């Protein structure tokens, strides 16, 4: 709380936001690395509801993305999945999600927002960025082709930069591969590949952004 004595933090929660269309091994490796390096007690994956920054393409139904996120995270003892953005009507903003998580977990929980270097680069354009920066610190993971330039970041932001073995995997590339009938099976957990096949996701011409 602004202006009051510092609260003792006795729990450290990672927050991994994403469209997860689909979730892939890059997301999971990033969350696992962040959990190990920052000694997090839990990582909560938060699939987006209506991703307003990706309006240029059709996004797969939230329930499919949520289901795949559950399947992908079920076998990790520290991972859980939150429906907070999926169940919130209207546009999705990280500030609202962080507020809600902070009130769910209580003030003695520290929030660590885990993000790839590409996503943190435009932090200054986020809604209520000053409040975001107060609510959470950031775990910035290197991602092939991106680096975080400190001068791009808002004032006062707390960033833990982490180098990890890069996994050059993106959801865009997986969607492209499924549509092209190219190999993709080992870029995602086995159950996610099975789910994509079972529901025929990403296969047809009107699939999300296969170009
Ligand atoms: P898309 O290609 O549709 O944009 P994406 O693979 O970038 O999908 P997102 O759901 O946009 O996945 O990303 C969610 C978060 O995961 C972002 O913070 C992003 O930077 C991070 N991320 C995605 N892929 C990787 C990766 N291979 N390594 C590290 N971080 C990643
Ligand atoms: Mg992305």
Q: Which domains does the chain have, with CATH numbers?
A: 11-169 (3.40.50.620)
CB 14 less than 6 A from any atom of ligand 1? no
Residue 4 to residue 203: CA distance in whole angstroms: 54
Per-residue pLDDT of the chain (211 residues; tens, 9 = 90+): 566 666 789 999 999 999 999 999 999 999 999 999 999 999 999 999 965 555 557 889 999 999 999 999 999 999 999 999 999 988 879 999 999 999 999 999 999 999 988 888 889 999 999 999 999 999 999 888 887 888 889 989 999 998 888 889 999 999 999 999 999 999 999 999 999 999 999 998 555 554 4
CB 30 less than 6 A from any atom of ligand 1? yes
Sign of the torsion angle spanned by Cα atoms 26, 29, 35, 41: positive
Kindly compute the dihedral angle of the four CA atoms of residues 190, 193, 194, 199, in this order, to the nearest 10 degrees: 160
Query: Which ligand places an atom closest to the C-alpha of 43?
Result: 1
| Helix, strand, coil content of the chain in percent (nearest 5) | 40, 20, 45
Sign of the torsion angle spanned by Cα atoms 107, 109, 24, 84: negative
CB 115 less than 6 A from any atom of ligand 1? yes
CB 142 less than 6 A from any atom of ligand 1? no
Query: Which ligand places an atom closest to the C-alpha of 169?
Result: 1
Reported ipTM: 0.98
Residue 22 to residue 193: CA distance in whole angstroms: 9
Query: Which ligand places an atom closest to the C-alpha of 175?
Result: 1
Q: Which of 124, 122, 118, 176 is nearest to 145 (CA)?
A: 118
């Amino acid at each position: 709380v602004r202006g009051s004595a510092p609260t003792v933090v006795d729990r450290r929660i990672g927050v991994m936001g994403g469209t997860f269309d689909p979730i892939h091994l890059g997301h999971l490796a990033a969350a696992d690395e962040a959990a190990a390096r920052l000694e997090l007690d839990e990582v909560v994956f938060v699939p987006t509801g209506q991703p307003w920054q990706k309006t240029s393409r059709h996004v797969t139904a939230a329930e499919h993305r949520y289901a795949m996120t559950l399947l992908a995270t079920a076998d990790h003892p520290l991972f859980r999945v939150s429906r907070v953005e999926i169940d919130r009507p209207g546009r999705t903003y990280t500030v609202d999600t962080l507020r809600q998580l902070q009130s769910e977990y209580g003030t003695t929980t520290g929030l660590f927002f885990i993000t790839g270097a590409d996503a943190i680069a435009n932090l200054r354009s986020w809604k209520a960025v000053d409040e975001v920066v107060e609510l959470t610190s950031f775990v910035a993971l290197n991602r092939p082709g991106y680096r975080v330039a400190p001068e791009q970041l808002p004032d006062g932001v707390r960033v833990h930069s982490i180098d990890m073995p890069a996994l050059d995997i993106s959801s865009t590339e997986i969607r492209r591969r499924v549509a092209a009938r190219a190999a993709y099976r080992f870029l995602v957990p086995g159950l996610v590949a099975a789910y994509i096949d079972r529901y025929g996701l990403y296969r047809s011409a009107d699939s999300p952004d296969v170009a």
